[in-house]
A and B are shown apart, each in its own frame.
Chain A
Amino acid sequence: MASSQSMERSGGLQFPSLKTVLAVITGVMMLVDLYFIFMVAPTDAVLGHVQRVFYFHVPIAIMSFLAFFVVFIASLMYLFKRSPKWDAFAHASAEVGVIFVTLALITGIIWARPIWNTWWTWEPRLTTTLILWLIYVAYLMVRSYAPTQSKGAIYAAVVGIIGFVDVPIVYYSVVWWRSIHPSPVVGPFAKSDSLDGTMALILLYSFITFVFFFAYMVMERMELRTTEEALGRIRFALRRRGE
């Protein structure tokens, strides 16, 4: 089942599986990322060291939105092609996506407290992230509460599509709402958009690291799903033998 196992048995040239390669690359990239964040990145003049959370929070948040886009495409492909691979891809991306959104929200909250002196503010990015989280959760719920696996796949695909179309509308409605009800959040970096060169580069690198991390996690999850399906097939075969 695991390609690395069969490779060893064949006794020939051992190629590590793509998954292992990805894991190693990701691990190394992450270590380098941490080095950059803590050793290379300049300390923010106003906010101090806590600003370094930014190098995790922003890439994670952007990745979670990207993940939702991936779920959207995979959902469309599944509805048209009906291949289980697309369903597995959508499912895995959504589950890892939830992890990322949850993390984005948590780091966002931890970031907000020292910077803005409040745990939460209903500003467009945070609010849209929260809605994204709710839609992902609904996606996963609909999958597990559906009457059958295949119906669950279809329902989830529908949620993946509807949700993705909805997210920009949510974002703009909150932007417009906030322009009328301005946030009481004050202070420097309330917008937090001024970046110097080194910071921007490290941010970019961190983002790429998290893209790899995401890809690796999705691969792991998809492999788990393959195993789950194999178990299902064996159980089914046993039941039939028993009759």
Chain B
Amino acid sequence: MNGLLGPMMVIVWKDLLLELRSKDIVVSIVVFGLLVVVVFNFALNNIPGRSEELAPGILWAAFAFSAILAMNRAFVRDQEQGGLEGLLISPVSRDAIFLGKALTSLIFMLLVEAVLLPVYAVMLDFSALSWYLILTIFLGTLGFAVVGTLFSAMAVQTRSREIMLPVLFFPVLLPVIIAAVEASARAVGGETFIGLGRWLPLIGVFDAIFLVICPWVFSFVVEE
């Protein structure tokens, strides 16, 4: 396990530093997230009284679209500067590379969501002070990160990378989005863990399954 964690953390540290150094990336994704909420607010006709019904959906639509933006960038720099080849030649295991990249995306997205959540709570009029909401957001974003990193690694090498990631991402992550919206609605409504029903376990099972499969297929995606 030592051989996995060390290289993983190095990758995370390096990538995170690079991402956060240019703070305008974080800022632009946050702004995008806000724009999504505004657009959906009007598109869905979020009149007072309907907010409780619509808020979880708008929340996750914003998170999902922001996740696409965040993960489109996961491998772009490596692609352009050839950093990935260097990494592959080194004795770092493919799993470590994948998990490192996924963890970077996860932290990055959680940061963006942490900024956006209080703003959404105000705009959409709900209380974000629920541990179960936080847990749901964490597990959902983990699902985004794991599958998204794999698809990002593929998409970045294709001709139409900006469109390839969403086309791959959304159908596969639909169950996570469905479950996250349902769980969030309950969490915000004051439900406890039992009350969240099968939704959180569904996301958990999804994450577990793809945490096993995605690193494995990743080695095929990046082989030369």
Residues of A within 8 A of B (CB): 79, 131, 134-135, 137-138, 141-142, 145-147, 151, 154-155, 157-159, 161-163, 165-166, 169-170, 172-174, 176-177, 180
Contacts and interface: CB of A to CB of B under 8 A. Distances in A.
B174 interface: yes
Contact of B221 (A145, A158, A165, A176): A158
Interface in B74-123: none
Contacts of B217: 79, 158, 161-162
19 contacts: A131-B171, A131-B174, A145-B164, A147-B159, A154-B221, A155-B158, A157-B220, A158-B154, A158-B217, A158-B221, A159-B168, A165-B210, A166-B172, A172-B175, A172-B202, A173-B174, A176-B197, A176-B198, A177-B182
Interface in B208-224: 209-210, 213-214, 217, 220-221, 223
A142 B147 contact: no
A79 B220 contact: yes
Interface in B169-224: 170-172, 174-175, 178-179, 182, 197-199, 202, 205-206, 209-210, 213-214, 217, 220-221, 223
Contacts of B206: 169
Interface size grouping (class) on chain B: 20 to 34
Nearest to B160: A145
Contacts of B175: 166, 169-170, 172-173
A142 B172 contact: no
A162 B157 CA distance: 18
Interface of B: 147, 150, 154, 157-160, 164, 167-168, 170-172, 174-175, 178-179, 182, 197-199, 202, 205-206, 209-210, 213-214, 217, 220-221, 223
Contacts of A173: 174-175, 178-179, 202
A206 to B, nearest CB: 29
B178 A177 contact: yes
B221 to A, nearest CB: 6
A169 B176 CA distance: 9
Nearest to B159: A145
B79 to A, nearest CB: 11
A177 B199 CA distance: 9
A142 B221 CA distance: 12
A158 B220 contact: yes
A131 B168 CA distance: 11
